[in-house]
Amino acid sequence: MNVHDSERLSGLLESAGYERAADGADADIVVFNTCAVRENADNKLYGNLSHLAPRKQSDPNMQIAVGGCLAQKDRDTVLKKAPWVDVVFGTHNIGSLPTLLERARHNREAQVEIVNALQEFPSTLPAARESAYAAWVSISVGCNNTCTFCIVPSLRGKEVDRRPGDILAEVQALVDQGVLEVTLLGQNVNAYGVSFSDERLREDPTTPPELPRDRGAFAKLLRACGGIDGLERVRFTSPHPAEFTEDVIEAMAETPNVCPTLHMPLQSGSDRILKAMRRSYRAERYLGIIDKVRAAIPHAAITTDLIVGFPGETEEDFQATLDVVERSRFASAFTFQYSIRPGTPAADMPDQLPKAVVTERYQRLIELQERISLQENQAQVGREVELLVATGEGRKDASTARMSGRARDGRLVHFAPGTGDIRPGDIVVTTVTGAAPHHLIADAPIAAHRRTRAGDAHAAGQRPRTGVGLGMPRIGVPAPAPAAGGCGS
């Protein structure tokens, strides 16, 4: 989500007349789009701001902006810790960035603008997409859950959903520009549609307040994406186990361009800890979903999120997590050591665990998941895979001249391109010959290579653009513009 927001920020700045700074060049504007989920995000931001202080001192006209979740949370704290910052803006008003930069330049003082409600859905803003072949598409922002470890709902607000027609129009616009793959984004995608009844009530006060929510809205959206000609791959992230319904599984299985992959956050395998987290499902419910997905989509690659060391977690609770991980056979997992996030209920809970205990458990979980990931990847050896060629993801041995791509199930594959002129954005078919915990190797000859419009666009340096903009004047470029002008975001 933050990556996609950064594309919006880049699009806004380019629409205002700025140009992206060349790699290694000193930018006139540096924008930090921040996260607040983990503690190290705070440390990383303020460390980076400190590194920029000498540059700002030597060039007072250079501007620094801080936005996103950490800015929404810290507000005036950013300027107290880094008074050389020019602009602080929140999650609900990213469209204000060009105006705030101009105002800070004109008034010669820092501008702080944090609003508490969404001003416009981010997808109405221009976006400078990073990829010619794969794109993010937001279907909702905000979250109505109250997980005790998570600060996102207080920073992003209640869930607001986009109308299906708006989403499909954006997807179509991307496909028209050559994009082959879209990932539908939401804090809880399978709650999609929850805000529609509220919207109808606002539009027509005579609407019955008990108007039922359309719980099938997300499954319908997936099926509608299946009807877009030229859209070859559809992914989504992230669903919530408590609201994951069988109609979504059916839509995944029956819609050819929906990829056989599912990211399903578990967080803990202990029912007692799940209750303390306010996660409204239990381990057996979670495992039941996994079984149903695999019954309908046998080769689905399932990934997850896990938190180690939640307040009060006992060795028995942790063992329950290991047991669920063993049974789930995740292709991979994003694992986190719990850290206190001020403003969340968990921050004030008793029985906060010692760091040494959390670290030791974390290492045991990593070792288990690495073993499972390797076994699951070794099971792919000998399988033919269709890859969407990427720009070079992950680490690979440069001496082999391998390229990288993503299989339909999301696995990263480093493959031998042979002598063909294969470009990022093209489609190739090859056979898996080796495996590691985090990637596959395909040194077999290329069985098929399809050149695509996305590959043409990548080779030409073209990137798709979406968003209607806000009709704002092209403000923001100082006169005269510096010879090495640019923006880094």
| Euclidean distance between the first and the last CA atom of the chain, given in angstroms as a whole number | 15
pLDDT at position 205 over 90: no
Q: Residue 223, exposed/middle/buried by CB under 10 A (0-12, 13-18, 19+)?
A: middle
**The pLDDT value given to residue 42:** 78
Q: What is the pLDDT of residues 381-429, one digit of tens each?
A: 999 999 999 997 766 666 778 999 999 999 999 999 988 899 999 999 9
- Whether residue 143 is annotated as binding a ligand: the answer is yes
Q: What is the pLDDT of residues 298-333, one digit of tens each?
A: 999 999 999 999 999 999 999 999 999 999 999 999
Query: What band does 2 get if pLDDT is binned at 50, 70 and 90?
Result: confident
- Whether residue 147 is annotated as binding a ligand: the answer is yes
Comparing 40-54, 313-327, 440-454, which segment has the lowest mean pLDDT? 40-54
Handedness of CA 166, 136, 234, 425 (dihedral sign): positive
Q: What is the pLDDT of residues 72-101, one digit of tens each?
A: 888 888 999 999 999 999 888 899 999 999
pLDDT at position 489 over 90: no
pLDDT at position 52 over 90: yes
List, in sequence order, the alpha helices (H) in 181-268: 196-203, 217-225, 246-254
**The pLDDT value given to residue 167:** 95
Mean pLDDT computed over every residue of the chain: 89
**The pLDDT value given to residue 75:** 80
**The pLDDT value given to residue 476:** 45
- CA dist., res. 187 & res. 238, Å (int): 6
Residue written as tokens 């819609």? 255
Average pLDDT over residues 475-481: 43
Question: What is the DSSP track for 34-101?
Answer: E--SSHHHHHHHHHHHHHHHHHHHH-TT-EEEEEEHHHHHHTTHHHHH-TT--EEE-SS-GGGHHHHH
Q: What share of the chain is helix, strand, coil (3-state, %, to 5)?
A: 40, 20, 45
Comparing 120-124, 336-340, 482-486, which segment has the lowest mean pLDDT? 482-486
Q: What is the pTM of this model?
A: 0.88
**The pLDDT value given to residue 474:** 40
pLDDT at position 143 over 60: yes
- Whether residue 150 is annotated as binding a ligand: the answer is yes
pLDDT at position 470 over 50: no
- CA dist., res. 318 & res. 103, Å (int): 52
**The pLDDT value given to residue 487:** 43
**The pLDDT value given to residue 401:** 85
**The pLDDT value given to residue 24:** 86
- CA dist., res. 21 & res. 432, Å (int): 39
Average pLDDT over residues 131-145: 93
pLDDT at position 376 over 60: yes
More confidently predicted of 279 and 158? 279
pLDDT at position 457 over 70: yes
Q: What is the pLDDT of residues 221-255, one digit of tens each?
A: 999 999 999 999 999 999 999 989 999 999 999 99
User: Which phi and psi (to 5°) does residue 141 adopt?
Assistant: -130, 155
**The pLDDT value given to residue 482:** 40
Q: Which of 360, 248, 259 is nearest to 302 (CA)?
A: 259
Question: What is the DSSP track for 223-242?
Answer: HHHTTSTT--EEEEE---GG
**The pLDDT value given to residue 394:** 65
More confidently predicted of 23 and 289? 289
CA dihedral 88, 89, 95, 96 (to 10 degrees): -60
**The pLDDT value given to residue 398:** 67
Element (DSSP H or E) covering residue 176: helix 164-176
**The pLDDT value given to residue 211:** 56
Q: What percent of the chain has pLDDT over 90?
A: 72
Q: Check: CB of residue 489 under 8 Å from CB of residue 101.
A: no
How far lies 193's CA from each of 189, 200, 218, 420, 443, in Å?
Answer: 9, 12, 7, 46, 45
Q: Which amino acid is it at 298?
A: P
- For residues 458-473, one letter each, b for 16 or more C-beta atoms within 10 angstroms of the residue's C-beta and e for the rest, the string is beeeebbbbbeebeee
- CA dist., res. 92 & res. 113, Å (int): 10
State how far Cα 239 lies from the chain centre: 12
User: Which phi and psi (to 5°) does residue 71 adopt?
Assistant: -65, -40
Q: Residue 316, exposed/middle/buried by CB under 10 A (0-12, 13-18, 19+)?
A: exposed
